[in-house]
Structure 1
Amino acid sequence: MEIHGHFDEKFAAVREEFELNFTEKDDVGASFAVTIEGESVIDIWAGHRDAAKTLPWEEDTIVNVWSSTKPMYFMAALMLADRGELDLYGKVTDYWPEYGQNGKKSTEVRHFMSHSAGLPGFGEQLTMEQLCDWDYAISVLERQEPWWEPGKVAHYHAMTQGFLVGEIVRRITGKSLGTFFREEIAGPLNADFHIGVDPAIFPRVAEIIAPPPLQEGDTPEPPAELRDRINGTPPCFPPHTNQPDWRQAEIPAANGHGNARSIARIASAVANNGTVDGVTLMSPEGVERIFDEQITMDKGTLGMGYGLGALGAGAPRDSKVCLWGGAGGSTHVIDMDRKASFAYVMNQMNHDLVGGPRGWMLQRRFYESMGLVKPRERYGVSS
């Protein structure tokens, strides 16, 4: 099949793996990108941006990347901390007094960043219209009680985290998270990534394709803290997430739109200790805050926002890596040791919640091509 873009020839195995994602792993349209020291060494794309396979995936195609958006607001919070405007260990109520209702006064900002705030759901059912209404969603979160003592345990705040961190950003800066991100991160880096999409660029947005239905019995029993609780998130899968209201809204935990190139570009600023191509987003000390270990969630270690550890990246075990990923399979990975950033995005979703094997294997092939890990035939634990 035809693979577009560019890659250094030493990464030919990455290109071959990318093709396998289409021929063996059901990709419809996708892109993958890698930077080293801010330089693009892989930037490839292929396939189609619609389920009917009538529209080609092009160089400027963007797509909903789900939770691969989360590091965008991690960066926003880290930048404010680096400027001395936000104390990540301070009380949320220092910035957002109304949040202290109903037993939440002890919540610290870092609890928002580490999925340990005790509000993994809204506590009452929302419609899509209400989810897309920032002020309404915030008012719902303000009046909820925490589902556990903040900071005690971590469960994935899949949708709520973006509102929680985003409201802190808004209280400090007076700007919506999407506006702050555009003006302070994406704009200076010339990155084609959006939290709240302008309808003028809708023609470039790929159609998200739902995964096949789960088989009966595939849904695990929820942990004790989540039982008998109302998550409240409305259906957030296609076709709902291909609609204008979803695309235009700022739902920072889940509806960022970009491509692999733009994610890798933004992540390269972190990979290079806060500065890339003369653009400084934060100091090296500000970047180092990412690696301040907070808590364990689902056997993984969480730093300040990002997940930590090489295993999820396919990197050598001792690598200093931070990362996140999105529902359906997208990835957002930073390797500090090699000043490298990686991103994989696609429109055909699977049932992986935070990244998945398609992106992992592409990253693994990169490390194999560099002679840093042994070749592996399939997705699994790195060596």
Structure 2
Amino acid sequence: MSIEGTCADGFEPLRDLLETNLANGEDAGASIAVVRDGELVVDLWGGEARPGVAWARDTITQVWSVTKAMGALTVLTQVEKGLIDLDAPVTEYWPAYGAQGKENVLVRHLLGHTSGVPGWTPPIRIDEILDLEYSEGVLADETPWYEPGSAPAYQLVCHGHLLDAVVRGAVGRPLADVLHDQVMAPLGGGFRLGVPDEELDRCADLIAPPPSGLDFGAMGPDHFLIRTILNPLLSIDACNGAAWRQGAVGGAGGHGNARGIARAQALISHGGEVDGVRLLSEETIDRIFEVQSEGDDLLLGVPVRFGMGYALPMSSAPAIPEGRVCWWTGYGGAIVVNDLDTRTTFAYAPNKLADHMVASPRTDGYVRAAFAAVRG
């Protein structure tokens, strides 16, 4: 399968790896991008978006929890404007959230996955989580699953709902609108939280992963992972449907290509400014690296280390470089990594899903190849 795009000298191993993975079937279609010291030094794509349809320059695909990093970036831009205080109670922006003993939960607890509410307890359908105000109301009524602030419990699907309710209360507009208008539009697009009708044909179809290596049977029905992945179950067929793609589920439903993701996230690795567009200060970026939770995640079951809206280097993701680095990944393998020490952002957006929650060999290979090239 042919690869298109551009690749600067020194980054050829990254292109070679994409070519190999497309040829051997590890990838069906994908895009990769690297922004290094202000330049888009890698912008590659190839394979198929759907059977018989080539992956094009503007193809986008669902990147699952990389959407969370885009949501975090959006929240930080509102922190920069003084509209959101990370240390304020959530109830300052979302009064209803104080129900059932959650009145002391802070905004930074939501960003650090310690809200105490990693999912919905009442049965909820996909069409209901697409109705953000309804499903956010259900979250507001939740009794905490554990003591908020005491441990990480990854907010698998509801994370974007939590952030959306705060942004909606602080700014008066949904998270998706603020992301599109204030972040993506000035930087050239390439990421959508809610794909409009006229852009649906840009979406690559997801391909289901192989069976998971997790022993779900050993977890028991009360395990946080079981309670969240089944309520609701996001099937591949549902995610490939128009209703889901048009929705704005900020924990999992964003669609983008590597170029758009990398250019936006390069605001973090480049001191808050990309191509003359300044949206963040160094002081706001510094807050990302304040550790909000660390230890075995109550949902993921692996060691995690979350800063403000992003993961930091951690043992369960061995390919992530050490240093002043913040990142996150999506189910199946999509990833974005911001390395502030080298002024680099790397992004990868595939449509064929791997057995991947936090790390996997295919994604690790791309990350290592990218940062090996960056570090010479």
* TM-score of the aligned structures, taking structure 1 as reference length: 0.91
Aligned twin of 2:178: 180
Instruction: Name 2:29's counterpart in structure 1.
Output: 29
Q: Which residue of 1 aligns with 2:87?
A: 89
Q: In the alignment, what sits opposite 1:306?
A: 310
Check the 8 A contact 1:292/1:304 in 2, yes or no: yes
Residue in structure 1 matched with residue 73 of structure 2 by the alignment: 75
Tell me which of 143, 146, 152 is aligned to 2:144: 146
Alpha-carbon distance in 2 for matches of 1:361, 1:216 = 22
**C-alpha displacement at 1:370, in angstroms?**
4.0
Task: Give deviations 1:203-224, integer Å, cap 9, x for gaps.
Answer: 1110111113347846652698
CA RMSD, aligned part only?
A: 2.1
1:64 to 1:309, Cα distance in 2 relative to 1, 3 A: same
Q: What's the counterpart of residue 250 of structure 1? A: 248
- What SS does the aligned partner of 2:70 have? helix
Paired amino acid for 1:338: T
**Which residue number in structure 2 is paired with residue 156 of structure 1?**
154
> How far, CA to CA, are the matches of 1:34 and 1:130 in structure 2?
37
1:361 match:
365
Residues 313 and 333 of structure 1 are in contact (CA less than 8 Å); yes or no, is this contact kept in structure 2?
no
Moved more, 56-65 or 76-85: 76-85
Residues 1:129 and 2:133 are matched in the alignment: no
Aligned partners of 1:211, 1:219: CA distance in 2, in Å?
Answer: 19
Q: How many angstroms does 1:353 deviate by?
A: 1.6
Q: Is the partner of 1:10 in helix, strand or coil?
A: coil
**In the alignment, is residue 325 of structure 1 matched against residue 329 of structure 2?**
yes
- Contact persistence 1:125–1:231 (CA under 8 A): no
Q: Which residue of 2 aligns with 1:112?
A: 110
Check the 8 A contact 2:287/2:308 in 1, yes or no.
Answer: yes
CA spacing shift, 1:84–1:37, aligned 2, 3 Å: same
CA distance in 1 between counterparts of 2:147 and 2:345 reads 35
- Equivalents in 2 of 1:361, 1:100: separation in Å? 44
Match of 1:47 in 2: 47
**Residue 55 (structure 2) aligned to one of 57, 66, 71:** 57
**Alpha-carbon shift at residue 230 of structure 1 (Å):** 6.8
DSSP 3-state at the match of 2:190: coil
Q: Deviations over 1:231-270 (max 9, x none)?
A: 6632212100011110111100101111001000101111
Tell whether the 8 Å contact from 1:124 to 1:230 is kept in structure 2 after alignment.
Answer: no
Q: Which runs of 5+ in 1 are unaligned?
A: 373-383
Q: Please, which of 195, 206, 211 is the counterpart of residue 208 of structure 1?
A: 206
Distance 1:310 1:128, change over 3 A: closer
Structure 2 CA distance, aligned partners of 1:102 and 1:59?
48
- Rounded to whole Å, the distance in 2 between the matches of 1:220 and 1:72 is 34
- Report percent identity of matched pairs: 35
Q: Distance in 2 between matches of 1:230 and 1:310?
A: 23
Structure 2 residues without counterparts, runs of 5 or longer: none
* Contact residue 126 and residue 232 of structure 1 kept, 8 A: no
Report if aligned partners of 1:99, 1:142 keep a CA contact under 8 Å in 2: yes
Q: Is 1:334 matched up with 2:338?
A: yes
Q: Secondary structure at the match of 1:4?
A: strand
1: CA distance between counterparts of 2:22 and 2:10?
A: 21
Over 3 Å counting, the alpha-carbon distance change for 1:243 and 1:284 in structure 2 is same
Query: After superposition, what is the alpha-carbon deviation per residue over 1:150-196, rounded to whole angstroms, capped at 9, x for unaligned?
Result: 10011111111110011100101111111010111001111221111
Residue 316 of structure 1 and its aligned partner are, at CA, apart by 4.6
- Structure-2 change in CA distance of 1:104 and 1:360 (3 Å): same
State the shift of 1:369 in Å: 2.8
Instruction: Select the residue among 181, 190, 194 that pairs with 1:192.
Output: 190
Superposition deviation, residue 310 in structure 1? 7.3
Q: Secondary structure at the match of 2:10?
A: helix
Residue 17 and residue 106 in structure 1: after superposition, are their counterparts in 2 closer, same or farther (change >3 A)? same
The two structures have a TM-score, normalised by structure 2, of 0.93
